[in-house]
């Protein structure tokens, strides 16, 4: 089952993918443990703050300062997290990985299907 997500990317490269956009959740940033990966300041991982406080990690989003500077190693780190698949109906995407969404955005092949 895929998670409903919102995706936005702007001309300056700022990009975010937000899980559970219709739910009010405390979203906090925290770098996940990914072997061999040094987290750049330009990529922020967001987790459910209430669950994180109790030692549980539930991913709720990712923010990238400039999608054009997202590297393959960043995409490998995202894939390593084994996140749920996402549905982004406004973009015509269903059951796709977070890494694939970000790759398409970086490669500028992710376009809106809505006018």
Tokens standing for residue 89: 């109906």
Q: Is 9 left (phi over 0), alpha (psi -120 to 50) or beta?
A: beta
The mean predicted confidence, pLDDT, of the chain is 90
Query: How many Å apart are CA 34 and CA 110, to the nearest integer?
Result: 26
Q: What is the mean pLDDT of residues 67-73?
A: 92
> Which residue, chain included where needed, has tokens 């702007």?
10
Under a CB-based contact definition with an 8 Å cutoff, are residues 77 and 37 in contact? yes
Q: Confidence class of residue 114 from pLDDT cuts 50, 70 and 90?
A: very low
Q: What's this model's pTM, rounded to 2 decimal places?
A: 0.86
Q: What is the mean pLDDT of residues 26-55?
A: 91
> b/e per residue, 30-60, with b = 16+ CB within 10 A?
eeeebeeeeebebbbbbbbeeebeeeeeebb
Under a CB-based contact definition with an 8 Å cutoff, are residues 72 and 23 in contact? no
**For residue 84, is pLDDT > 50?**
yes
């Amino acid at each position: 089952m895929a998670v409903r997500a919102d995706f936005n990317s702007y001309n300056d490269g700022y990009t975010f993918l937000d899980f559970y956009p219709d739910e009010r959740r405390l979203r906090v940033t925290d770098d996940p443990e990914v072997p061999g990966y040094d987290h750049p300041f330009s990529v922020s991982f967001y987790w459910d703050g209430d669950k994180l406080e109790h030692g549980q990690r539930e991913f709720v989003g990712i923010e990238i300062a400039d999608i054009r500077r997202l590297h393959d190693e960043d995409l490998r780190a995202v894939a390593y997290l084994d996140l749920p698949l996402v549905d982004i109906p406004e973009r015509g995407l269903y059951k796709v990985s977070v890494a694939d969404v970000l790759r398409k955005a970086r490669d500028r092949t992710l376009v809106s299907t809505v006018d």
